[in-house]
Amino acid sequence: MNLWQDTQAQQLTLREGELWLFEHVLPDADEVEQALHKTLNWQSGTVRFGQIERTIPRLQAWYGDPDAFYAYSGLKLTPQPWTSRLTDLRTRAESLAGHTFNSVLCNLYRDGRDSVAWHADNEAPLGRNPVIASLSLGATRTFHLKHRQTGERLKLPLHHNTLLVMKGALQHHWVHAVLKEPGIQAPRINLTFRKVNPPRS
């Protein structure tokens, strides 16, 4: 029996790279959101800029296959083993994105004061044109995109129970961010499924 709802995909054509947006991705999104909020091992991390150490303005949790190490702004994240719920969500993300993933970076934006700064998901272990599937649950937050060469800007609201798939050359030509929106009081969970190539030994 197929428990998944039918989803409609919208493709957003960009100057370089591809964005796909799927709506109504999970039949039980409210329950999944609550369960992830309660049960994932959320951690507060820090990043270092030279001598200065800053707390990351959101909570994070990294799950994946044992060899899916990930280095992120000088931070080495060791994956925790998949939970059965995250494995189910990975299967769903894989079927929509048409791609396999071996890890998921989970972000918890406690309210509109939490954010992720401008960046591209272009670290070497992600490979040349990474496919990243990003599931949003909870408060709607704005996904900002900026073209590196032309400065062109785009804004996309990421609603509860949507999956955004970034692919092609997107990470080479665009940076993205979820900027602070102080008026927002509700939390948002975002899961970014990724394929990390294990380091060569």
Ligand X SMILES: O=C(O)CCC(=O)C(=O)O
**Which residues here bind ligand X, judged by CB under 6 A?**
105, 107, 116, 121, 134, 143, 158, 176, 178, 190, 192
What order do you get walking across the sheet with 153-158 strand by strand?
Answer: 116-119, 174-178, 141-147, 153-158
158 neighbors 164 (Cβ within 8 angstroms): yes
121, 125, 146, 181: which one binds Mn ion (CB under 5 A): 121
Considering only CA atoms, which of 200, 185, 36 is closest in space to residue 125? 200
- Minimum CB distance to Mn ion smaller for 140 or for 175: 175
Stretch that binds Mn ion, among 4-12, 18-26, 42-50, 119-127 (CB under 5 A): 119-127
What sign does the dihedral 53-180-188-184 (CA atoms) show?
positive
What pairs with residue 13 in β-bridges?
Answer: 18
| Contact letters for Mn ion, residues 76-115 (x by CB under 5 A) | ----------------------------------------
CB of 129 to ligand X, least distance (A): 16
Residue at token pair 């044109």: 129
Beta-bridge partners for 109: 188
In angstroms, give the least distance from the CB of 181 to Mn ion: 17
Binding residues (CB under 5 A) for Mn ion: these are: 121
